[in-house]
Amino acid sequence: MVIVMKQNTPNEELEQLNTCLRQMGFQIHLSQGENFTILGLIGDTTRINEGRLRANPYIDRILRVQHPFKRVNRMFHPEDTVIDIAGHRIGGGSTLIIAGPCAVESEEQLMVIAQQVKASGAHLLRGGAFKPRTSPYSFQGLGVQGLELLQRAKELTGMPIVTECISVDSVGIVAEYADVIQIGARNMQNFALLKKVGQTNRVVLLKRGMSATIEELLMAAEYILAEGNEQVILCERGIRTYETYTRNTLDVSAIVAIKELSHLPIICDPSHAAGKWEMVTPLAKAAIAAGADGLMVEVHHQPEMALSDGNQSLKPERFEQLVAAVNQIVAVNKSLTD
């Protein structure tokens, strides 16, 4: 249930209503904007006497929330959530570009790529230290050594770090190094892990599961927000369909739907959606045109030598061209909304 208060409601009246609802056993999500104040009620609202509430002269209207996700719901938080990552903003019209190799392979490899993507316009550096792979025989990442290399790359370039956490036990160590903790598609419904990262003060990048519905993605985000961490970025990275030509099928409509349903920012990972480097730029442009708040792109200076996902990694010069194209689309989008 959402209670929309009238403009200029006195603070004492708001506090009194808030206290009364908490005493009834509800959790209250307070959202205050320039022109509104909203109380989002979480709990069994069937026992509320709406008639008594409507008698309150400061209540403008009462709305029932139909979806099971509450905290991530735009009804609870009408304005876009804007997240600041070391001076780089995402959401509310700000576009964020994350780039780097799929996996940290060596110091030389990471430093070369980090400097190149920074020069091309990337804001954050991505790189996997812990790699959950389909095959147990594939490269699994350098672990803590990879985190240490990411830290050195951050010191060299000044770029905040995005890296994946794959288990509850590793949340602590990953949070020590990462500015943004990524939860991969395979862990989207690892609820213990979602709760654990929800207890950190790090931004969380939550990827959509390979066969997850939009509602399941938003419910996964709800787990994180329910633990107190409201710094969540959603990521559309393609879903598994009957099509075998591409690695996954990019669901551009999910970007539009999530913009309607939720206040959280959403980015697109065209690299995993396509699985083919030549399709990454067209898909990236489509996602930004559809309203995505940013991109996460895999870049490697020697993709033919990459230990992970070389076939979907852009070379630095192609990434630079992608950034230029994306900036043009962002400018057009802004001109249409101004």
The whole-number average pLDDT for the span 317-338 is 92
The count of domains in the chain is 2
| pLDDT value of residue 296 | 98
25: domain CATH number?
3.30.70.1140
Q: Is there a single domain that holds both residue 6 and residue 119? A: no
Q: What element of type H or E holds 295?
A: strand 294-298
pLDDT at 92 > cutoff 80: yes
pTM (2 d.p.): 0.91
Q: Is there a single domain that holds both residue 207 and residue 309? A: yes
pLDDT at 265 > cutoff 90: yes
| Residue 165 within a domain | yes
- What is the per-residue pLDDT across 17-49, written as a single tens digit (0 to 9) for each? 999 999 988 999 888 877 779 999 988 888 888
Q: Is there a single domain that holds both residue 56 and residue 187? A: no
Cα 213 to Cα 10: distance, rounded to the nearest angstrom? 41
Confidence of residue 271 (pLDDT cuts 50, 70, 90): very high
Confidence of residue 332 (pLDDT cuts 50, 70, 90): very high
| pLDDT value of residue 35 | 74
| pLDDT value of residue 50 | 86
| Residue 233 within a domain | yes
- What is the per-residue pLDDT across 284-315, written as a single tens digit (0 to 9) for each? 999 999 999 999 999 999 999 999 899 999 99
- Write the single-letter amino acid at 338: D
| pLDDT value of residue 51 | 86
Say how far residue 255 (Cα) sits from the centre of its chain: 11
| Residue 71 within a domain | no
Confidence of residue 133 (pLDDT cuts 50, 70, 90): low
Q: Is there a single domain that holds both residue 189 and residue 296? A: yes
Q: What element of type H or E holds 89?
A: strand 88-90
Count of CB atoms situated within 10 Å of the CB of 244: 6
| Residue 49 within a domain | yes
- What is the per-residue pLDDT across 184-220, written as a single tens digit (0 to 9) for each? 999 999 999 999 999 999 999 999 999 999 999 999 9
Q: Given strand 2-5, what is the order of strands in its sheet?
A: 27-32, 37-42, 2-5, 59-63
Confidence of residue 137 (pLDDT cuts 50, 70, 90): low
Mean pLDDT of the chain: 94
Domain hosting 17: range is: 2-63
Say how far residue 3 (Cα) sits from the centre of its chain: 27
Name, in order, each residue with C-beta under 8 angstroms of 177's C-beta and a sequence gap of 6 or more.
Answer: 147, 148, 150, 151, 161, 163
Cα 42 to Cα 20: distance, rounded to the nearest angstrom? 14
